[in-house]
């Protein structure tokens, strides 16, 4: 599986900058690392479509994960819809996961006419806090998946402190 992960961009400090070009270049770099991105937005979009289709033919699946997505400006969200709509035959070429605080759900409200066309293609999932002792089990599972023992990294006081943070 090929994954494209974009995180850690300092979006909030840069105002309403459209990050579409940076996202497009990151997708292309992950899927076709030896290909230089085209200069024009339309040529770059077609290039990404071809690269994703070729990668999908090779059996790869693709997902774009954006953390702190609540900082994405509306024009960027609209461009993400175009990436999501890319298909090869009847199969979508790119899944998109936007991660953010509750403000992201407000931004992606169906009542917001600026993003209605985007929201109609989204599924919003709200993850509730891990309470009632579920955090420790979750941490054990996540650490075990990477071959680590969580008890060597965190002691019980750290686990007890998380719900109060």
CA atoms within 13 A on the CB side of 59: 0
- How far apart, in whole angstroms, are the C-alpha atoms of residue 147 and residue 137? 15
- How far apart, in whole angstroms, are the C-alpha atoms of residue 81 and residue 160? 40
CATH class of the domain at 4-119: alpha beta
Q: Which pLDDT does position 4 carry in this prediction?
A: 45
Q: Counting Cβ atoms within 10 Å, is residue 152 exposed (0-12), middle (13-18) or buried (19+)?
A: exposed
Q: Which pLDDT does position 140 carry in this prediction?
A: 86
For each of the chain's 165 residues, which pLDDT tens digit applies? 444 444 433 444 445 556 888 899 989 998 999 999 999 999 999 999 999 999 999 988 898 888 888 888 888 999 999 999 999 999 999 998 888 888 898 899 888 899 988 888 888 888 887 777 788 888 888 888 888 888 888 888 888 777 766
Q: Where are the domains of the chain?
A: 4-119, 134-164
List the structure tokens of 142.
Answer: 């996540």
User: Phi and psi dihedrals of 155, rounded to 5?
Assistant: -100, 175
Q: Which pLDDT does position 10 carry in this prediction?
A: 40
- How far apart, in whole angstroms, are the C-alpha atoms of residue 64 and residue 94? 7
Torsion of CA 22, 23, 27, 30, to 10 degrees: 60
């Amino acid at each position: 599986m090929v994954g494209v992960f974009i995180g850690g961009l300092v979006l909030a400090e840069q105002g309403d900058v459209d990050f579409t070009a940076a996202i497009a270049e990151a997708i292309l770099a992950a899927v076709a690392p030896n290909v230089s991105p085209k200069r024009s937005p339309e040529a770059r979009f077609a290039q990404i479509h071809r690269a994703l289709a070729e990668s999908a033919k090779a059996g790869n699946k693709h997902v774009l994960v954006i953390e702190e997505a609540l900082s994405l400006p509306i024009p960027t969200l609209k461009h993400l819809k175009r990436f999501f709509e890319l298909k090869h035959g009847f199969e979508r070429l790119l899944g998109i996961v936007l991660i953010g605080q509750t403000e992201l759900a407000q931004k992606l409200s169906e009542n917001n006419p600026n993003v209605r066309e985007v929201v109609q293609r989204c599924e919003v999932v709200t993850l509730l806090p891990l309470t009632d002792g579920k955090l420790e089990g979750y941490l054990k599972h996540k650490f075990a998946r990477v071959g680590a023992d969580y008890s060597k990294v965190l002691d019980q006081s750290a686990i007890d402190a998380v719900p109060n943070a």
